[in-house]
Amino acid sequence: MLQWLRRRQEARRLAQVDAEALIRDHGGEAYGEVRQRERDMILTDGTTHAGRTPAHWRRVALIVAKRTGHKVGLDTATRMAQDADQKPSDPRSRDPSSPVDPLNELKRILSGK
């Protein structure tokens, strides 16, 4: 059990070190770089870039995302769709601070307005 805990602590420390290095070297592109490393061709021993496993790079990606403010798990198309949903399509639309009547909102959505 103690050996398992040591391995986990070492994996966590190594992920932190890799995340810091990627952010230092790649800045805003660090998240894309770590995801590319995760997807690199898996070698016969089950490792990828720098002898690390894909699971390691997933841990690093989460750390990088937290530190850089990158949204995790959303591809570009999904992020664009979310951004479009959040922007008012009609400048004459209702005041965002006013309460929404669910029935009226459903009618508005179904009518295509």
Q: What is the pLDDT of residues 36-81, one digit of tens each?
A: 888 876 777 777 777 788 889 899 999 999 999 887 766 666 667 7
Output the pLDDT for position 91.
Answer: 47
Q: CA–CA separation, 84 vs 59, rounded Å?
A: 30
Section 73-102 average pLDDT: 64
Per-residue pLDDT reduced to its tens digit, 10-34: 999 999 999 999 999 999 899 989 9
In this model, does residue 98 exceed pLDDT 70? no
Q: CA–CA separation, 51 vs 49, rounded Å?
A: 5
Sequence-distant contacts of 90-95: CB under 8 A, at least 24 apart: none
Output the pLDDT for position 16.
Answer: 96
Section 90-112 average pLDDT: 70
Instruction: Please say whether the beta carbons of 63 and 35 come within 8 A.
Output: no
Residues 6+ apart with CB under 8 A from 61: 31, 34, 35, 38, 72
Residues 6+ apart with CB under 8 A from 14: 52, 56
Sequence spans of domains, the chain: 1-75
Q: CA–CA separation, 94 vs 113, rounded Å?
A: 13
